[in-house]
Amino acid sequence: MRYLVVGGGGREHAIVHALSKNVSKENLFCAPGNAGTEALATNVEIKASQIRALVEFVQLKDIDLTIVGPEAPLVDGLCDLLRKNGRKVLGPTALAARLEGSKIFSKQFMRRHNIPTADFWHFNQYSEILRFLDIAKFPLVLKADGLASGKGVVICKNADEAKKVAHDFMENRKFGEASEQILIENFLDGVETSVFCLTDGRTIMILPTACDYKRAYDGDAGPNTGGMGAVSPSPRLTDDDLALIEKKIIVPVIHGMQMEESPYTGFLYIGLMLTKTGPRVLEFNVRLGDPEAQVILPRLKSSLADLCLAAVDGTLEESQPEWDDRAAVAVVLASEGYPEDPKKGRAITGATLPPSENHFLYHAGTKRSAGKLVTDGGRIFAMTGLGKTINDARSEAYKALKNVQFDGMQYREDIAHFD
Ligand code: AMP
Ligand code: GLY
């Protein structure tokens, strides 16, 4: 069997790494991959956005299963096109990917199926928003409808702030078509967490819990990022919370998509706020999280390839994967200037570590230039440590990352630190 992983970040290195336990290098491809995936797979020079080129490659190499990492190609219909060509692929159809690709679709879907979420209003006219904002109660959350690389959500404390954001989104078309329509939500107070599952459209497999650290600096200060670290299991969720979330949210989502004749297959990431009145959905992502994948997948003891095939073939009900009891903690090593203006092209040393059962260095924004390893993005690596307890896993990750060096390297010192 031949496998293609689409994407080139830390999440995709984690997918390739997990697959490589059962799949040989000659049968594993990653497009475009990074300097980490090239040790385990053949990197293919096709970007995740080049859908037609990806389909051609799958045909040419007779790939048996494609696993799509990031959201954009899913929203753009990569899975539909591959299936049309008779190819197996793990990921939702473009219609089902609207759970992430259109925040308005996702909120209306939740309303139709009584899935708990913040109250909301949606607008396609700037003049209507202005009238609404004059009488609205704050704080409110403004969201661009479409994909905006995590930058399309702004919490507004008053009408002036909200009008400015609405003007930027709609009149200045800050995110083009993606911000032509706007969603306004009530602000939810509580503890933020997420739940991940894999589904074949019918059977739902809840994955080990994980949560990330979104702010750039220690103490949850500084700008929002894609995630500066992660821990699994999530200390923010009890088993009771999880049971309630499964019943009230996850099952209704998967059944709702089935009922609307748009069954959802693949990984689903549910962002939640645990409020005083129960868990409420903040957002859906139609993929695994990054860096959450770097703490979930290293805990998988069974074959990821088999699990993905079961999800594609509709036989997930028969799968009983084994998970490592150990905890995992990932610390992201980011470039100077991340997230606003990451500096690229810096030489990296110390990234080749002796193999260990207890840690693994996932690459993200790395590449080889004239044979040398250099930085090529915002988030460069995630060092994942495994240990009996979260504290052990954290110590392992922080100890191992001391080897890695590049100019301007920044990381948070307080990932999974609860003392
Ligand atoms: P989203 O991409 O919709 O998850 O929004 C990005 C971030 O904005 C979330 O991770 C939350 O921290 C915050 N957020 C989104 N919606 C709300 C809400 N209704 N109330 C409070 N915070 C929110
Ligand atoms: N870590 C957040 C995300 O993957 O969207």
CATH number assigned to the domain comprising residue 164: 3.30.1490.20
Tell me, yes or no, whether 277 and 197 share the same domain.
yes
Q: Given a cut of 90, is residue 29 above it in pLDDT? A: yes
Rounded to the nearest angstrom, the distance between the alpha carbon of 120 and the centre of ligand 2 is 23
Tell me, yes or no, whether 206 and 166 share the same domain.
no
Tell me, yes or no, whether 90 and 195 share the same domain.
no
Non-local CB neighbours of 261 within 8 Å, separated by 6+ positions: none
DSSP state of 247: I
**Ligand that lies nearest to the alpha carbon of residue 183, given by its number in the listed order:** 1
Tell me, yes or no, whether 66 and 173 share the same domain.
no
Strand partners, 348: none
Residue having the nearest C-alpha atom to atom 8 of ligand 1 = 153
Tell me, yes or no, whether 314 and 195 share the same domain.
yes
- Hey, CA dihedral for 73, 333, 324, 273, is it positive or negative? negative
Rounded to the nearest angstrom, the distance between the alpha carbon of 76 and the centre of ligand 1 is 24
Q: What digits encode the pLDDT tens for the residues 73-97?
A: 999 999 999 999 999 999 999 999 9
Residue 410 lies in a domain: no
Q: What is the structure's pLDDT at 160?
A: 96
Mutate to test the pocket of ligand 1, among 155, 165, 225 (most ligand atoms within 8 A of CB): 155
Query: Which two tokens mark 407?
Result: 């100019």
290 lines ligand 2 (CB under 6 A): yes
- What's the pTM value of the predicted model, to 2 decimals? 0.97
Q: Are 178 and 269 in contact (CB under 8 A)?
A: no
Non-local CB neighbours of 203 within 8 Å, separated by 6+ positions: 316, 317
**Ligand that lies nearest to the alpha carbon of residue 382, given by its number in the listed order:** 2
CATH number, domain at 72?
3.40.50.20
Residue having the nearest C-alpha atom to atom 5 of ligand 2 = 289
Q: Are 239 and 155 in contact (CB under 8 A)?
A: no
Separation CA 142–CA 145 (nearest Å)? 10
Q: Are 314 and 200 in contact (CB under 8 A)?
A: yes
- Helical pair 251-259 and 103-112, crossing angle rounded to 10 deg: 100
Cis bond leading into 263, ω under 30°? no
Residue 102 lies in a domain: no
Q: Which atom of ligand 1 is nearest to the CA of 187?
A: 20
Q: Are 412 and 217 in contact (CB under 8 A)?
A: yes
Non-local CB neighbours of 267 within 8 Å, separated by 6+ positions: 90, 91, 196, 197, 198, 286, 287, 288
CATH number, domain at 391?
3.90.600.10
Separation CA 87–CA 73 (nearest Å)? 16
Separation CA 362–CA 162 (nearest Å)? 39
185 lines ligand 1 (CB under 6 A): yes
Q: Which atom of ligand 2 is nearest to the CA of 230?
A: 1
Separation CA 267–CA 280 (nearest Å)? 19
For the chain, the farthest-separated pair of C-alpha atoms sits apart, in whole angstroms, at 62
**Ligand that lies nearest to the alpha carbon of residue 291, given by its number in the listed order:** 2
Pairing of strands 327-334, 278-285: unpaired
Q: Which of 318, 350, 370 is the last residue of a domain?
A: 318
Rounded to the nearest angstrom, the distance between the alpha carbon of 107 and the centre of ligand 1 is 13
DSSP code string of 158-217: SHHHHHHHHIIIIIS-TTGGGGSSEEEEE---SEEEEEEEEESSS-EEEPPP-EE--EEE
Tell me, yes or no, whether 164 and 209 share the same domain.
no
Q: pLDDT > 70: what percent of the chain?
A: 100
Tell me, yes or no, whether 153 and 225 share the same domain.
no
Mutate to test the pocket of ligand 1, among 282, 286, 292 (most ligand atoms within 8 A of CB): 282
Q: For residue 8, what are the domain limits?
A: 3-96
Q: Given a cut of 90, is residue 151 above it in pLDDT? A: no
Residue having the nearest C-alpha atom to atom 3 of ligand 2 = 289
Q: What digits encode the pLDDT tens for the residues 271-307?
A: 999 999 999 999 999 999 999 999 999 999 999 999 9
Pairing of strands 366-369, 372-375: antiparallel
First to last CA, the chain: 47
Rounded to the nearest angstrom, the distance between the alpha carbon of 280 and the centre of ligand 1 is 11
Rounded to the nearest angstrom, the distance between the alpha carbon of 212 and the centre of ligand 2 is 7
Non-local CB neighbours of 232 within 8 Å, separated by 6+ positions: 208, 209, 210, 292, 295, 296, 299, 327, 328
Tell me, yes or no, whether 127 and 156 share the same domain.
yes
Separation CA 292–CA 329 (nearest Å)? 9
Cis bond leading into 321, ω under 30°? no
Mutate to test the pocket of ligand 1, among 110, 121, 137, 141 (most ligand atoms within 8 A of CB): 141
Residue 108 lies in a domain: no
Tell me, yes or no, whether 285 and 356 share the same domain.
no
Residue 412 lies in a domain: no
Non-local CB neighbours of 20 within 8 Å, separated by 6+ positions: 28, 40, 41
Rounded to the nearest angstrom, the distance between the alpha carbon of 113 and the centre of ligand 1 is 21
285 lines ligand 2 (CB under 6 A): yes
Closest CA to 182 of 126, 261, 233: 126
**Ligand that lies nearest to the alpha carbon of residue 150, given by its number in the listed order:** 1
Residue 170 lies in a domain: yes
Domain count, the chain: 4
187 lines ligand 1 (CB under 6 A): yes
Residue having the nearest C-alpha atom to atom 11 of ligand 1 = 282
Tell me, yes or no, whether 182 and 196 share the same domain.
no
Q: Which of 283, 318, 353 is the last residue of a domain?
A: 318
Residue 375 lies in a domain: yes
Q: What band does 150 get if pLDDT is binned at 50, 70 and 90?
A: confident
Residue 272 lies in a domain: yes
Q: Are 162 and 130 in contact (CB under 8 A)?
A: no
Alpha-carbon torsion angle 6, 9, 14, 15, nearest 10: -10
Tell me, yes or no, whether 169 and 199 share the same domain.
no
Q: What band does 149 get if pLDDT is binned at 50, 70 and 90?
A: confident
Q: What is the structure's pLDDT at 409?
A: 98
Q: Given a cut of 70, is residue 419 above it in pLDDT? A: no
Q: Which of 254, 283, 318 is the last residue of a domain?
A: 318
Q: Are 131 and 140 in contact (CB under 8 A)?
A: no
Tell me, yes or no, whether 310 and 253 share the same domain.
yes
Q: pLDDT > 90: what percent of the chain?
A: 98
Q: Are 294 and 362 in contact (CB under 8 A)?
A: yes
CATH number, domain at 252?
3.30.470.20
Query: Which two tokens mark 189?
Result: 């107070």
Q: What is the structure's pLDDT at 10?
A: 98
Residue 75 lies in a domain: yes
